[in-house]
């Protein structure tokens, strides 16, 4: 391991990183919603059945 160094990003690099971060965040949130709703749809009313 070599010694880490801090890099100061330029304005355009900072803006680009922010835009990528927002897009990734929205993408992940959409994925969570899709899997949540699809799970309920696929299980149907049985998802509320708590008897074992």
Partner 1 sequence: MALVEKSTLHDGGFRMSEATAGDFIALLKPRVMSLVVFTAFVGLMAAPVSINPFIAVVAILAIAIGAGASGALNMWYDADIDAVMTRTAKRPVPSGRVLPGEALGFGVILSILSVLTLGVLVNWVSAALLAFTIFFYAVVYTIWLKRWTPQNIVIGGAAGAFPPIVGWAAATGSITLESVILFLIIFLWTPPHFWALALFKSEDYSRAGVPMMPNVAGAASTRRQIFAYTLLTAPVGVLPWLLGYTSVAYGVVAIALGLGFIWYAWKVLLMPDSDRTMKPAKAMFGYSLLYLFGIFAAYLADSIVERLLAMPGV
In the complex with partner 1, the residue whose CB is nearer, 2 or 51, is 2
Number of residues lying near partner 1 (CB under 8 A): 26
Q: Calculate the CA dihedral of residues 23, 28, 30, 32 and round it to 10 degrees.
A: -170
Q: Which residue has the tokens 């899709």?
A: 34
Work out how close the CB of 16 gets to partner 1 at its nearest, in angstroms, rounded to a whole number. Answer: 5
Q: Is 6 in the site for partner 1 (CB under 8 A)?
A: yes
Closest distance between partner 1 and the C-beta of residue 52, in Å? 24
**Which tokens belong to 48?**
């509320």
């Amino acid at each position: 391991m070599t010694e880490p160094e801090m890099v100061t990003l330029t304005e355009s690099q900072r803006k680009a990183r922010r835009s990528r971060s927002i897009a990734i965040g929205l993408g992940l949130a959409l994925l969570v919603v899709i899997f949540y709703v699809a799970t309920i749809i696929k299980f149907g009313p049985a998802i509320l059945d708590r008897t074992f």
